[in-house]
A and B are shown apart, each in its own frame.
Chain A
């Protein structure tokens, strides 16, 4: 199970939890299951998110594989100038 850490203001959508565990093979599955399990997160996922997997930020990377013990941080979709 990947450990997913969400940012603070999303906690109301996960029952106040800042960390949740999700069974997923890759980022795409992880986001889909996050949205299914916590429907309140769907709006943010639709708006756009990036993820950090074990310290490395992926702006898109939907097919990036997740190890069973991966630590994933949900981040707002990266922007730049």
Chain B
């Protein structure tokens, strides 16, 4: 339910908006923090997974007999150890199929068996002794190739959903989505200029530094414990319990510190495998992925192919926008974010006629999973590239063209609903007035910009707040802290209670300690779990006031809470000296026992989010190498609880977008095998590649949160691809329609343009 207490715009904050030290900082820089692979248990075994070397193959037979006989091997599992408990839930069945292949191996790296042994060496030996009889099938890894009628078929029973009439022949196209309003054909008739282009982007990985790790311990009585790094330990608990066929309450999951997730840890990969091995071996089993496994068997995002057509009048008004977005999602239906690409593509514009068609396509690649604003960055790259080109054809400054056509309060969004108060216009105006926008450019440099959108959502959160007898606070939340949320939770609790930040500690509780909490994704945690913290603090304040009232012998409603003290509400309530939080807490054993606050809910009202980015790039004309020389992020945060963390989210999204735009890509050989499964060959940006990313936080309060907070974690990855492509186009005079803008591609583009120019001359 959305809160009815809209933000008080006149409220003066004491803690919120300041920049205290992060509570996890010292542990992380001294190596004391416990990440997934740091968990251990007495008698634990080493788990290892055998993976398919083939992109597409029928698994005729798996012979584990020799591996089982090897001394030190305590368990070997295959598909036979995962009977189908999914009860018709197709998404859950696919998740189970992904963690252990069944009839077919659907991509290189697909798990086909696993062992638990006393040492890593024995486990590796055992994997070599497992004989898998494969029937190799033709494969397809490119989204356009996969859509062709004669493409190798992944699933004989996949008939495209969302087309009329329903196809009679199976294909690799799982679903078709269509969004929009108006009449695009009529809109194009009114256009003076139309630009139509096709684009492609490659798959990129979330690139978190910490590989997946899980320690599982399952007892003969069926109860189990699991320690793992994840963005959502309640999700892990629920999914693992259902795959293994055990009661959810029998499984307790404890989340470790997390070395990055970015959406990639919003599902399970090794966790059910570790549990199944532990169940069979009757010993704790630890499974830690190698980097090679992370690249080959965990979710990257989609590679895409897109067509964009936009028409404008000669005075710069968009008359129609049309787009087709083809996203491959790995081997299972419903995994690509095609629908969110289509929904978000034109969301930053006020359009009378718009159509966006998305295709969810299966390929012989790893099952894709969310990556920050899933689906939006690629679509934004395509659309904002065409927007820039249109502005140049019109002879208009691109910023003015965007401002003229920007979505605003009352705009019917391209995905349907009408916008309430939104922050796009202010981010565009702030960009126009930013010193970066007017700074001179050097030789071989170009400037680009783009505006982007993301939905944000709330979801389920449960918080418990305990006040021990010294009046300090422990707040237990169930949302893994992947971006500094513990600091923000402490700050919001301190703000409500009127005490210092240093008196509040937030911990991430295990799944048996609190009610359900949704995954930390969708930019939801500071918004939703933070709101639950505020409401849990208000619940505690009510109880603190009750204790004070009972102590003074006055009615409860005659007591108010101000700056950490219970006070009589007025002169009529009586003349009592205020009682501090410390005093009430110290007296609590004798006034009714422990004092705690709780709140559990499903939060809505997250509010959509917009950002505008400006980028300067310098191109080496001899090598085609691009260097980002200046970058600015301007985004609406509603209210920045801890501005340093907000800036960090802005900067992190921009950096990941820079990697996506310039270097990162999954490269497949003709054999369907990934050629660059490691950070040496898959090049993510490092500090020396980057300038300081400048940020500007705008605060346009979100009416759905008591402090006005909006999620900020995802929108910042949406505009960089387009902003950089537009900057490269400005620097080189060449419009690139395929990412990444790697040196060979840029150099070829420059040379082709030169050759074309000579030919024309």
Which of A's residues lie within 8 Å of B, judged by CB?
Answer: 5, 7-12, 43, 47, 50, 52, 55-61, 63-64, 71, 73, 75-76, 78-81
Bound-complex Cα distance A11 to B161 (A): 12
Q: Which residues of A contact B1 (CB under 8 A)?
A: 61, 63-64
In Å, the complex CA distance between A65 and B153 comes to: 45
Q: Is B417 in contact with A80, judged by CB distance below 8 angstroms?
A: no
How far apart are A50's CB and chain B's nearest CB, in angstroms? 8
Instruction: Give the residues in chain A near B713, CB-CB below 8 Å.
Output: 81
In the complex, which residues of chain B have a beta carbon less than 8 angstroms from the beta carbon of A10? 162
How many angstroms between the C-alpha atoms of A71 and B119 in the bound complex?
Answer: 61
Contacts of B371 in A (CB 8 A): 81
Listed A/B pairs (19) with beta-carbon separation below 8 Å: A7-B177, A7-B179, A8-B179, A12-B162, A12-B165, A55-B418, A60-B460, A60-B602, A63-B1, A64-B604, A71-B418, A76-B343, A78-B522, A79-B522, A80-B263, A80-B523, A81-B262, A81-B372, A81-B373
Complex CA–CA separation, A81 to B265 (angstroms):
9
B109 at the interface (CB under 8 A from A): no
Q: Is B665 located at the chain interface by the 8 A CB criterion?
A: no
Contact A78 B416 (CB under 8 A): no
* B346-362 interface (Cβ within 8 A of A): 355, 357
The verdict on A9 contacting B337 (CB below 8 Å), with A52-B416, A60-B602, A80-B522 known, is no
Residue of B nearest to A81 (CB): B263
Question: Provided the pairs A9-B162, A56-B704 are in contact, do residues A80 and B2 lie with their beta carbons within 8 angstroms?
Answer: no
CA distance A64 to B603 in the complex (A): 11
Q: Are A59 and B604 in contact (CB under 8 A)?
A: yes
Cβ contact within 8 Å between A52 and B417: yes
Given A56-B2, A56-B420, A59-B604, A81:B455 Cβ within 8 A: no
B365 within 8 A of A: no
The residues of B that contact A7 with a CB separation of less than 8 Å are 177-179, 415-416
A76 to B604, Cβ gap below 8 A? Answer: no
Q: Is B457 an interface residue (CB 8 A)?
A: yes
Task: Report chain A residues within 8 Å CB of B339.
Answer: 76
In residues 329-350 of chain B, which contact A (Cβ within 8 Å)? Answer: 334, 337, 339-340, 343
Q: How far is the CA of A60 from the CA of B461 in the complex (A)?
A: 13
A75 and B414 alpha carbons, distance in the complex (Å): 12
A60 to B263, CA, bound (A): 20
The smallest beta-carbon distance between B379 and chain A, in angstroms, is 15
Q: B457: which A residues are within 8 A, CB to CB?
A: 50, 57, 59, 78, 80
**Contact string against A for B residues 233-271, beta-carbon threshold 8 Å, 1 for contact and 0 otherwise:** 000000000000000000000000000001110100000
Question: B385 at the A/B interface (Cβ < 8 Å)?
Answer: no
Question: CB-CB contacts of B108-151 with A at 8 A, as 1s and 0s?
Answer: 00000000000000000000000000000000000000000000
Q: How far is the CA of A12 from the CA of B176 in the complex (A)?
A: 12
CB-based contact A9/B714 at 8 Å: no
Complex CA distance for A46 and B589, rounded to whole angstroms: 50
Q: Contacts A7-B177, A81-B371 given: A47-B340 contact, CB under 8 Å?
A: no
C-alpha gap A29/B608 in the complex (Å)? 26
B163 at the interface (CB under 8 A from A): yes
Residue from B179, B334, B343 within 8 A of A47 (CB atoms): B334
Q: Which residue of B lies closest to A72 (CB)?
A: B417
Chain B 599-611, CB-CB to A under 8 Å as 1, else 0, gives: 0001011101000
Cβ of B701 within 8 Å of any chain A Cβ, yes or no, is no
Flag whether B419 is at the interface (Cβ < 8 A): yes
Q: How many residues of B contact A (CB 8 A)?
A: 56
Separation of A68 and B572 alpha carbons in the complex (Å): 46
Closest A residue to B175 using CB positions: A9
Chief secondary structure at chain B's binding surface: loop
**Chain A residue, CB-CB nearest to B162:** A9
- Inter-subunit contact A5/B416 (CB<8 Å): yes
Chain B residue numbers with a CB within 8 Å of A43 are 161
- A81–B418 CB distance below 8 A: no
Q: B162-204 CB contact bits vs A (8 Å, 1 = yes)?
A: 1111000000000111111000000000000000000000000
Separation in Å of the A48 CB from the closest CB of chain B?
8
| A57 and B606 contacting across the interface, CB-CB below 8 Å | yes
By a CB distance below 8 angstroms, the chain B residues around A58 are 604
With the chains together, A40 CA to B179 CA distance in Å?
18
Interface centre among A9, A12, A55, A75 (most CB of B within 10 A): A9
Residue positions of B touching A, CB distance < 8 A: 1-2, 90-91, 161-165, 175-180, 206, 262-264, 266, 334, 337, 339-340, 343, 355, 357, 370-374, 415-420, 455-460, 521-524, 602, 604-606, 608, 704, 713-714
Distance in angstroms between the alpha carbons of A12 and B178 in the assembled complex: 12
Q: Which of B164, B337, B417 contacts A57 (CB 8 A)?
A: B417
For the complex, what is the distance from the CA of A60 to the CA of B162, rounded to whole Å? 23
Contact B416 A9 (CB under 8 A): no
B288: shortest Cβ distance to chain A, in Å? 23
CB-CB under 8 A for A81 and B417, given A9-B162, A57-B606: no
Residues in chain A near residue B521, CB distance under 8 A: 79-81
Contacts A55-B418, A56-B605, A81-B373 given; does A76 touch B340 at CB 8 Å:
yes
Residues from chain B with a CB closer than 8 A to the CB of A57 are 417, 455, 457, 604, 606, 608
Q: A47-B91, A59-B458, A80-B457 are in contact. Are A8 and B263 (CB under 8 A)?
A: no
Given A9-B163, A9-B176, 13 new contacts (CB under 8 A): A7-B416, A12-B162, A43-B161, A58-B604, A59-B522, A60-B460, A76-B340, A79-B337, A79-B370, A80-B455, A81-B206, A81-B264, A81-B372
How long is the Cα–Cα vector from A68 to B206 in the complex, in angstroms? 44
Task: Report the bound CA distance from A39 to B213 in whole Å.
Answer: 43
Q: Is the beta-carbon distance between A79 and B340 smaller than 8 angstroms?
A: yes
Which residues on the A side are within 8 Å of B458 (C-beta)?
59
Contact yes or no, A75 B334, CB < 8 A: no
Q: Which residues of B contact A61 (CB under 8 A)?
A: 1, 602, 604
Which residue, A5, A9, A60, A81, has most C-beta atoms of chain B within 10 A?
Answer: A81
Taking the closest CB of chain A, its distance from the CB of B457, in whole angstroms, is: 5
Q: Output the nearest chain A residue to B604 by Cβ-Cβ distance.
A: A58
B602 contacts A55, C-beta separation under 8 Å: no
Please tell me if the beta carbons of A78 and B455 are within 8 angstroms of each other in the complex.
yes
A73–B417 touching, CB < 8 Å: yes
Question: Ordered nearest first, which 10 A-B pairs have the shortest CB separation?
Answer: A81-B263, A80-B522, A8-B178, A12-B164, A9-B162, A81-B370, A52-B417, A73-B416, A80-B521, A81-B372
- When chains A and B are docked, how far (Å) is the Cα of A8 from the Cα of B371? 26
Contacts of A11 in B (CB 8 A): 164
Task: Give the shortest distance, in Å, between A46 (CB) and chain B (any CB).
Answer: 9
The distance in angstroms between the C-alpha atoms of A80 and B479, with both chains bound, is 14
Of B176, B206, B357, B604, which one neighbours A56 at CB under 8 angstroms? B604
How distant is the Cα of A10 from the Cα of B178 in the complex, in angstroms?
A: 8
- Bound-state CA distance A76–B178 (Å) is 11
Contacts of A9 in B (CB 8 A): 162-163, 175-178, 357
Bound-state CA distance A78–B457 (Å) is 7
Known: A57-B457, A59-B604, A60-B602. A81 touches B416 (CB 8 A): no
Whether A55 contacts B522 by the Cβ 8 Å rule is no
Chain B residue contacts of A60, Cβ below 8 A:
459-460, 602, 604
